[in-house]
Amino acid sequence: MKICVLPGDGIGPEITAEAVRVLRALDLKFELEEALLGGCAVDATGQPYPEATSKLARAADAVLLGAVGGPKWDTLPREQRPERGLLAIRKELGLFANLRPAILYPELANASSLKPEVVAGLDILIVRELTGDIYFGQPRGIEQRDGERYGFNTMHYTESEIRRILRVAFEAARKRNKKLCSVDKMNVLETTQLWRDVANELAPEYPDVELTHMLVDNAAMQLVRAPKQFDVMVTGNMFGDILSDEASMLTGSIGMLPSASLDEHNKGLYEPSHGSAPDIAGQGVANPLATILSAAMLLRYTFGLEEAAQRVEGAVKKVLAQGYRTGDIFEPGTKKVGTREMGDAVLAAL
Amino acid sequence: MKICVLPGDGIGPEITAEAVRVLRALDLKFELEEALLGGCAVDATGQPYPEATSKLARAADAVLLGAVGGPKWDTLPREQRPERGLLAIRKELGLFANLRPAILYPELANASSLKPEVVAGLDILIVRELTGDIYFGQPRGIEQRDGERYGFNTMHYTESEIRRILRVAFEAARKRNKKLCSVDKMNVLETTQLWRDVANELAPEYPDVELTHMLVDNAAMQLVRAPKQFDVMVTGNMFGDILSDEASMLTGSIGMLPSASLDEHNKGLYEPSHGSAPDIAGQGVANPLATILSAAMLLRYTFGLEEAAQRVEGAVKKVLAQGYRTGDIFEPGTKKVGTREMGDAVLAAL
Ligand SMILES: CC(C)[C@H](C(=O)O)[C@@H](O)C(=O)O
Ligand SMILES: CC(C)[C@H](C(=O)O)[C@@H](O)C(=O)O
C-alpha cells in the first residue's frame, strides 16, 4: 500500500504532516514517500510537476496532496505556474472523477453565512468531471488575428467520457439518498446537450436513482436558495469548478472539506478543498482537518478500508465535539488550537 | 421615442402590461408597439424571433421584454426553442453590455436565505458581456468521431470585445463606489488570460477606479461568503450567466431585479432578471416590479431621462414601504396583492 505524499506550497506542508501522522497511527503498514508538486517543485527543478514526482505518483496506489500555489509564482510563464502541476498530475493519472462533499458539521453551523434553517444538516456530494472539458480542450491559445489579439479555448466531451463520470455519480447516489441532479447548459451549449442526452440514456440502468436536470445558472441560484434539495450533483469540469466551490462555501467552513479525484481503478489523489493560504503559511495555525478527512477518503476509496476511514472521521467529529477549533472555525466558548495541537487531538481521539 | 414591447411567454404578458401602464402614465409621448418573441412567436410563425419582430426591434430605440420559454416548447428542435429568440435578438441588435443589479431592499431583507448581517444593504452591479464567448463561438456542434458522439463548443474573445465591455464596467464603477472586480479563469483558460491582460492595460485610463481580479471559482465562493465586498463585477458571457444569477438569488427576491442589455449607442433591451414562471402564468399573481424597474432602466439608459427613472424607482420603493407584496415576497403583516393591484399601487405612488 504505497502512498505518495505531496505537501506542496503554503500551508500544504503543515497540514499534510498532520494527516501523515494520522495515517501512521493507524498502523496499517503504508509505505509513504514524499515528492514535490507546485511552486516548491518549480523552485527546486524549474517544473511544477517534475519527472521524479510523476514517477513516484505513477508507482503509488494513492496520492495525498496538501495544496499548491502562491503569489510568489503568479508572474511565471503559464507553463511554470504551480496549478499546471495540478492539472498535469490529474491528466497523467487519469483522475477523471472528482468527489467533493459539502457537509455542514452541526458544531460549526454558525460559520455559515446562510441562515441556520437553510443549511442545517447540509450534505451534498458534488461529482465533477476532472480530465476533460474546456480545461484540456484543443485548439486553444492567444493569437494575432485581423490586427488584434484573439483568445480561444475549446469545450468538448465524448459520450464515453460523459458516461463514465455519470456512472460514478449514479453509483454514489445509489449509496446515498438516491437523487442525482445533472447540471448542464443544454439550451446554449451543444457539448452539454450531449451530456444531457447521455445522462437520459443511462438513467434506465439505475431505476432506483431519481435523475433530474438543471441548468447551471439555475443550479448556482438553487444552491443559495435551498441547498438541501440536493443529494448528489454531477457536472463537467468547468461548471464543477464553480459549483463545487460555491457549495463548499455554503458550509462556511471549507477548512473542513476533503476531496478525492479517482481514476477507473480507484487509484486516487486526495486533497483538501481549500487552497494553500499563503497568508498564514508557516505559522502553525492552519486547519489540518480537511486534509485528515482527505486521508479518510483515501482509506475508503483506494484501499477499501471503510472501518479505518470511519475511525478517522469519527475522531474528527469527536475533536469538534470536544470544542477544539483552529482559527478559521473558532468561536468564543471553544478551545483555540494550532495545526499541531489539532493533529494531537485527532490522534488522541483515535 | 419608440419602444418595442415583447411580452413573451408565461407571466410575460401580465408583467409587461403593468410596466407599460407605468410608462404611459409618465406622459412622455412614447410610441409603443408590441411584437412576438419566444414560444408565442414559435406558435404563431414557427420562428422564435420572426422577421416582423426583428424589423420592429431594429427600428425601435428600446425594447421592453417580459420573459420567454416554458415546458411546452422544451422538446422542439434547438433552432425553434424560445431562448434561441432571445440569443438572436441580443446578437442582432449588438446588445453586448448586460447590466444586472443585485440590490436588497431593506423591506425584503427577510426573503434572503443569507444572514441579515451578510446581505443588509447589498448593492452589486454585475456587468456581463452578452454577445460573445462560448455562447456564439464557432465551431460548435455534436458529431460522430471515432465511432461515438462528440460535443464541442468554442470560447473566444477578441481584445476589442473585451475592451468595450470593460469600458462600460469602468464607467459604471466610476459612478458608484469606484471598485471594479474583473472575474476570469486565467489560470486555466487563455481566453480569460487575454481578458485579464486587457483589463490591466485599460486600468491606467481609470485611475479613480480600483481594479481587482478574481478567479471565477473564488468569485462564486466570495458571493456567498461576503457579497458586500463587491461594488461592480465584470465578466464574460458564460461566467456572467452563472454569477449574475447567483448574485441575484442572494437577495432572495429576484422578482424585484431588473436588467438592461445595451449596444454601443445606448439602444437597449430591458427585461426582469427572473424567468417566465409558467407555473403561475395567467393567474394574475406574478410580481411586476422587476419589469417596472426594467422600464426605469430603459428611461435612464436609452433616453437619458434620469428624473423619470428615479420617479419610477421611488414609486416602487414607496409601495414596498406601504406594505404591498405579491405572493413571491409576501410575509405575514404585509398586504398581499396581485399583479394588477401592484401595478395600481405603483401608479398611485407615481
Ligand atoms: C488551481 C485550479 C487549476 C483548480 C481547477 O480549476 O481545477 C482548482 O480551482 C480546483 O478546483 O482544484
Ligand atoms: C435563456 C438563456 C439562453 C439565457 C442565457 O443563458 O443568457 C438566460 O439564462 C439569461 O441569463 O438571460
Q: Which residues contact A61 (CB under 8 A, 6 or more apart)?
A: A1, A2, A3, A267, A302, A303
**A117 in a domain, yes or no?**
yes
DSSP H helices, chain A, are: 12-25, 39-45, 51-59, 82-92, 116-119, 159-174, 190-202, 216-225, 237-250, 289-301, 306-321, 339-349
Residues B113 and B218 in one domain: yes
Give A241-284 pLDDT, tens digit per residue.
Answer: 999 999 999 999 999 999 999 999 999 999 999 999 999 999 99
Strand partners, B233: B126, B181
| Residue A321 in contact with ligand 2 by CB distance below 6 A | no
- Of A188, A192, A222, the one to substitute when testing ligand 2's pocket (max ligand atoms within 8 A of C-beta) is A188
Task: Give residue B203's pLDDT.
Answer: 98
Give A52-67 pLDDT, tens digit per residue.
Answer: 999 999 999 999 999 9
Neighbours of A77 (CB within 10 A): 7
Distances (CA, A) of A146 to A143, A150, B91, B158: 10, 9, 21, 10
Task: Give residue A74's pLDDT.
Answer: 85
Tell me the pLDDT of chain A (350 aa) as tens digits.
999 999 999 999 999 999 999 999 999 999 999 999 999 999 999 999 999 999 999 999 999 999 999 999 988 998 899 999 999 999 999 999 999 999 999 999 999 999 999 999 999 999 999 999 999 999 999 999 999 999 999 999 999 999 999 999 999 999 999 999 999 999 999 999 999 999 999 999 999 999 999 999 999 999 999 999 999 999 999 999 999 999 999 999 999 999 999 999 999 999 999 999 999 999 999 999 999 999 999 999 999 999 999 999 999 999 999 999 999 999 999 999 999 999 999 999 99
Task: Give residue A198's pLDDT.
Answer: 98
Using a pLDDT cut of 70, give the percent of chain A over it: 100
State the ligand closest to the CA atom of B269: 2
| Residue B83 in contact with ligand 2 by CB distance below 6 A | yes
Do residues B170 and B231 touch, judged by C-beta distance below 8 A?
A: no
Task: Give residue B146's pLDDT.
Answer: 96
Angle at A331 between CA A325 and CA A336, to 5 degrees: 35
Residues A109 and A221 in one domain: yes
**A60 in a domain, yes or no?**
yes
Domain count, chain B: 2
Residues B246 and B111 in one domain: yes
Q: Give me chain A's average pLDDT, please.
A: 97
Helix (H, G, I), strand (E, B) or coil at A135: helix
Judge if the upstream peptide bond of residue A139 is cis by omega within 30 degrees of 0: yes
Residues of B in contact with A244 (CB under 8 A): 217
Residues A247 and A113 in one domain: yes
d(CA A260, CA B98): 37
Cβ distance A160 to B151 less than 8 Å, yes or no, reads: no
Secondary-structure percent of chain A, ordered helix, strand, coil, rounded to 5? 50, 20, 30
Tell which A residues from 212 to 251 touch B, by Cβ distance under 8 Å.
216-218, 220-226, 238-239, 241-246, 248-250
Q: Which residues contact A152 (CB under 8 A, 6 or more apart)?
A: A139, A140, A141, A142, A143, B137, B154, B155, B156, B190, B191
Residues B128 and B78 in one domain: no
Mutation to test the B interface, candidates A144, A146, A150, A274, most B Cβ within 10 Å = A150
Do residues A19 and A295 touch, judged by C-beta distance below 8 A?
A: yes
- Residues annotated in a binding site of A: 70-83, 90, 100, 128, 217, 241, 245, 275-287
Residue by residue, DSSP assigns B113-155 as SB-HHHHTT-EEEEEEE-SSGGGT-SS-EEEEETTEEEEEEEE
State the nearest Cα–Cα gap between A323 and chain B, in angstroms.
23
**A258 in a domain, yes or no?**
no
Task: Give residue B75's pLDDT.
Answer: 87
- Single-letter amino acid, residue A214: M
End of a domain among A190, A220, A252?
A252
Residues A128 and A247 in one domain: yes
| Residue B110 in contact with ligand 1 by CB distance below 6 A | no
> SS3 string of B162-208?
HHHHHHHHHHHHHCCCCEEEEEECCCCCHHHHHHHHHHHHHHHHCCC
Task: Give residue B74's pLDDT.
Answer: 85
Predicted TM-score of the model (pTM)? 0.97
**A133 in a domain, yes or no?**
yes
Helices (H) and strands (E) in chain B, counts: 12, 14
Helix (H, G, I), strand (E, B) or coil at A153: strand
End of a domain among A196, A220, A252?
A252
Do residues B320 and B107 touch, judged by C-beta distance below 8 A?
A: yes
Looking at the CA of residue B237, tell me the nearest atom of ligand 2. Answer: 7
Residues A240 and A277 in one domain: no
Residue by residue, DSSP assigns B271-286 as EESS---GGGTTTT-S
Using a pLDDT cut of 90, give the percent of chain B over it: 99
Do residues A349 and A315 touch, judged by C-beta distance below 8 A?
A: yes
Task: Give residue A8's pLDDT.
Answer: 98
Q: Whose CA is nearest to atom 8 of ligand 1?
A: A241
- CATH number of domain containing B164: 3.40.718.10
Residues of A in contact with B78 (CB under 8 A): 193
Residues A173 and A215 in one domain: yes
Cα(A264) to ligand 1 centroid in Å equals 21
Helix (H, G, I), strand (E, B) or coil at B48: coil
| Residue A88 in contact with ligand 1 by CB distance below 6 A | no
Nearest by CB to A113, from B114, B141, B154: name it.
B114
Residues of A in contact with B239 (CB under 8 A): 242
Residues of A in contact with B243 (CB under 8 A): 220
Helix (H, G, I), strand (E, B) or coil at B100: strand
Nearest to B181 by CA among B208, B135, B147, B212: B212
**B258 in a domain, yes or no?**
no
Do residues A324 and A341 touch, judged by C-beta distance below 8 A?
A: yes
Residues B110 and B137 in one domain: yes
- Is B47 labelled a binding residue? no
Residues B125 and B238 in one domain: yes
State the ligand closest to the CA atom of A239: 1
| Residues in chain B with pLDDT values less than 50 | none
Q: Say if residue A44 is exposed, middle or buried (CB neighbours under 10 Å; 0-12, 13-18, 19+).
A: exposed
- Characterise B137 by phi-psi region: left (phi > 0), alpha (psi -120 to 50), beta (else): beta
Task: Give residue B148's pLDDT.
Answer: 98
| Residue A83 in contact with ligand 1 by CB distance below 6 A | yes
Helix (H, G, I), strand (E, B) or coil at A87: helix
d(CA B256, CA B23): 17
Mutation to test the A interface, candidates B245, B253, B254, most A Cβ within 10 Å = B245
Tell which B residues from 107 to 166 touch A, by Cβ distance under 8 Å.
113-115, 118, 134-135, 137, 140-142, 145-146, 148-160
Residue B257 CB-half CA count within 13 A: 26
Host domain of residue A86: 1-96+263-350
Residues B147 and B35 in one domain: no
d(CA A31, CA A3): 6
Residues B238 and B282 in one domain: no
**A257 in a domain, yes or no?**
no
Task: Give residue B291's pLDDT.
Answer: 98
d(CA A258, CA A235): 18
B224's enclosing H/E stretch is: helix B216-225
| Residue B246 in contact with ligand 2 by CB distance below 6 A | no
**A110 in a domain, yes or no?**
yes
Residue by residue, DSSP assigns A242-268 as HHHHHHHHHTS-GGG-EEEEE-TTS-E
Do residues B99 and B248 touch, judged by C-beta distance below 8 A?
A: no
The residues of B annotated as belonging to the active site are 135, 185, 217, 241, 245
- Single-letter amino acid, residue B278: P
End of a domain among B202, B228, B253?
B253
- Is B73 labelled a binding residue? yes
